Amino acid sequence: MNFAVLASGNGTNLQAIIKALKSKQIKASLKVVLSDKAEAFALERARKAAVPVVMHVDPKGFATREAFDQALLDILKKEEIDFVVLAGFMRILSPLFIEAYRHKILNIHPSLLPAFKGGHAIKDAYNFGVKVTGVTVHFVDEQVDHGPIIAQTPVEIGANDTFDMLVEKVHAAEHQLYPYAISLFLRGRIKAQRAAD
């Protein structure tokens, strides 16, 4: 199967995926890495790994979110992409995009969903004072940080942990869980079904 990674930032989860591809933990072909940010280091990681299509698509060049998403879909269709992995992609996908890859878009979120949704999940968990947070891999649907859960792993917050220490712990957990969850999906161990109307 061919897949694409969408990323907006440093790309550490992308790097974990590339490592898992090399070790054959993930048995698929990473054909496309796209970013909405020209400066995203994820693009450099993808070039270094010789991903065939590495591209910045500037959302400012499109009048609507749907037009931007259609441009992404056109690239994915041309490259015959079977499923999509979000790795720090900081844009909300439109229903147009989600419907095109229904139950074939995976995302990783740095909390035990449904707790601590949103873009500041690690800080929110730390400030709230919980003893355990974690990481969730889930299918993407039309709601933010929602959709069927594929896998979760807990991360303990020690009494002496600083925020930066917690960030490192959560990222380490992400780099373990995401390749594992992708491999489950590829082996047909995970299936999401549309709820009956």
Structure tokens at 80: 């015959």
- Which one, of 7, 8, 58, 59, lies nearest residue 30 by Cα? 7
Beta bridge partners of 154: 134
> Could you tell me the pLDDT band of residue 193, with boundaries at 50, 70 and 90?
low
Mean pLDDT, range 167-180, rounded to an integer: 98
Residues 86 and 107: beta-carbon distance below 8 Å: yes
Q: Which CATH architecture group holds 1-101?
A: 3-Layer(aba) Sandwich (3.40)
**Domain span(s) for CATH 3.40.50.170 in the chain:** 1-101, 109-197
Catalytic residue, candidates 103, 109, 138, 175:
109
Note if 146 is an active site residue. no
Q: Fold for 109-197, please state it.
A: Rossmann fold (3.40.50)
Contact indicator for 162, 187 with CB cutoff of 8 Å: no
Written as one string, the DSSP assignment of 106-144 is EEEESSSTTSS-STTHHHHHHHHT-SEEEEEEEE--SST
Residue 83: closest CA among 181, 152, 186, 11: 186
**Do residues 86 and 60 touch, judged by C-beta distance below 8 A?**
no
Give the pLDDT confidence of 123-134 residue by residue, as tens digits: 999 999 999 999
pLDDT per position as a tens digit, 147-164: 999 999 999 999 999 999
The whole-number pLDDT of residue 146 equals 92
Q: CA angle, corner 150, sides to 176 and 91, nearest 5?
A: 85
Per-residue pLDDT averaged across 97-123, rounded? 97
Task: Give me the pLDDT at residue 105, please.
Answer: 98
